[in-house]
């Protein structure tokens, strides 16, 4: 089930974010940068701000009564950005990421958004493959990298006509 996040979800979201990040940051950056208590507090504060944003949305995926994944996006003067999409590692390969992605795309279509961007950590090859499978591509006219991240773009197709 996909639903809109609330403030009551923040602890579960921050913990899931920590577990997901450990899978792709481990061995690349110091552990305290993604898993320490200070980082957990910063992560929770960031998600709190995202849940409260009037120009964005945070979506939760639930499976068997527990948080299985989370996605967030915002739209501002620069356009629409998928800022986060994380699936709990113990929920991988069950369709959770695809369901969250589809919910984001559906929301974008309803809002008339035709293009979205994201940044993905350069060592997170699993995420890069996921995004490529869902139509995200590097933009040849824009920088591919921003620091340690790759910038990808998605053209949001109109809904299929019946």
Any domain includes 137: yes
pLDDT for position 136: 96
The domain that holds 86 is classified in CATH as 3.40.630.30
Report pLDDT digits (tens) over 4-47. Answer: 999 999 999 999 988 888 776 665 566 666 566 777 788 889 99
Q: Which domain range does residue 149 map to? A: 2-155
pTM, to two decimals: 0.86
Low-confidence stretches of the chain (pLDDT beneath 70) = 24-36, 141-147, 161-162
Which has the closest alpha carbon to 5: 46, 37, 35, 38?
Answer: 46
pLDDT for position 63: 94
Which has the closest alpha carbon to 158: 104, 108, 95?
Answer: 108
Q: How many structural domains is the chain composed of?
A: 1
Which has the closest alpha carbon to 23: 86, 93, 99, 69?
Answer: 86
Any domain includes 64: yes
Task: Please state at what angle helix 10-25 crosses helix 125-133, rounded to 10 degrees.
Answer: 110
Any domain includes 72: yes
Distances, alpha carbon 13 to alpha carbons 24, 41, 123, 125, 129, in Å: 17, 12, 23, 22, 23
């Amino acid at each position: 089930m996909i639903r809109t996040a609330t403030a009551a979800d923040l602890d579960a979201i921050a913990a899931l974010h920590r577990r997901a990040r450990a899978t792709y940051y481990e061995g690349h950056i110091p552990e305290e940068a993604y898993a320490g208590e200070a980082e957990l507090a910063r992560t929770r504060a960031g998600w709190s701000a995202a849940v409260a944003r009037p120009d964005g949305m945070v979506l939760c995926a639930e499976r068997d009564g527990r948080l299985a994944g989370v996605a967030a996006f915002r739209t501002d003067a620069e356009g629409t950005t998928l800022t986060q999409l994380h699936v709990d590692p113990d929920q991988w390969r069950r369709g959770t990421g695809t369901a969250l992605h589809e919910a984001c795309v559906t929301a974008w279509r309803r809002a008339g958004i035709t293009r979205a961007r994201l940044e993905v950590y350069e060592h997170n090859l699993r995420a890069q493959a996921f995004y490529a499978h869902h139509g995200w591509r590097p933009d040849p006219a824009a920088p591919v990298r921003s620091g340690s991240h790759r910038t990808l773009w998605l053209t949001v197709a109109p809904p299929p006509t019946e």
